[in-house]
């Protein structure tokens, strides 16, 4: 039987590892060809490493092992001109574009007074402007295809602000506003726009960001209990990818402007 995404092409950012890689592989399993990017260098101010060239190459290997085509590039989502040029070339090579998954993001945690103006700006530049740039880089392909799906990775923190994570909270709430704004205006073109809200995912970012909570916990222990979900343990990235397949497929043709939550209850209290 053909896969649920047979004949489609998806563009995924932040695909060197973690959720982005899981999405690329899962969509490929369902028949999609993929265009992937990740950062070309360490992003400033982070306390955990960004994906390496070797990790992005491993994503390529895993997708190709499934018999699907993949075009990969080391492009920073803050580089709009670079993103546009790369995606334009990749779409020309693969023939079309149907899905955009704006997944790249960073999380620099710490008490509010440790969230310097530089950390604030870097976080918003990657997590919010980077999502906007991702849409700008790929939307012409969706328009040419007669429609498609844009999926933006927000967070449980895009529904309920979490402590010791001010800049990240703001960026992820902003992603929701961006998605709803675009969903309204692109509906006439057959383009759906939705957000996905993971919580406590077992990725280098999800684990590394927790280190920054400790200073806040010491200063303000009453707030630390807010970083708790009802279901124990970390979420495997593949669990988020299953939702991405649904939103990328024609099964979700009437879903737009929605916020889809996979957070084990983190945002529900």
List active site positions: 168
**Contacts with 139 (C-beta within 8 Å, 6 or more apart), sequence order:** 100, 150, 186, 191
Output the CA angle 33-8-125, nearest 5 degrees.
75
Tell me the H-state helices in the chain: 18-29, 53-64, 80-94, 117-124, 130-144, 166-186, 204-208, 213-219, 237-248
Tell which residue, 153, 110, 109, has the closest CA to residue 130: 153
């Amino acid at each position: 039987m053909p896969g649920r995404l047979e004949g489609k092409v998806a563009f995924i950012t932040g695909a060197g590892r973690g959720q982005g890689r899981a999405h690329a592989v899962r969509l490929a399993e369902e028949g999609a060809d993929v265009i992937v990017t990740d950062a070309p260098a360490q992003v400033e101010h982070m306390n955990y490493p960004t994906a390496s060239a070797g990790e992005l190459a491993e994503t390529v290997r895993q997708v190709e092992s499934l018999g699907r085509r993949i075009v990969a590039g080391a492009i920073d989502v803050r580089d709009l001109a670079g993103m546009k040029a790369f995606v334009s070339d990749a779409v020309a090579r693969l023939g079309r574009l149907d899905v955009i998954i704006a997944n790249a993001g960073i999380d620099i945690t710490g008490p509010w007074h440790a969230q310097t103006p530089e950390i604030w700006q870097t976080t918003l530049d990657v997590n919010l402007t980077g999502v906007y740039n991702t849409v700008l880089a790929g939307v012409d392909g969706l328009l040419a295809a007669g429609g498609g799906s844009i999926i933006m990775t927000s967070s449980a923190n895009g529904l309920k602000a979490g402590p010791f994570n001010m800049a990240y909270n703001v960026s992820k709430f902003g992603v929701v506003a961006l998605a709803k704004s675009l969903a309204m205006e692109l509906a006439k073109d057959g383009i759906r726009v939705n957000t996905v809200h993971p919580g406590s995912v077992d990725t280098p970012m999800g684990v590394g960001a927790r280190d920054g909570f400790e200073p806040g916990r010491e200063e303000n222990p009453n707030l630390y209990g807010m970083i708790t979900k009802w279901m124990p343990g970390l979420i495997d990235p593949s669990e988020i990818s299953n939702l991405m397949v649904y939103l990328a497929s024609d099964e979700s043709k009437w879903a737009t402007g929605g916020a889809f939550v996979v957070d084990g209850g983190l945002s529900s209290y």
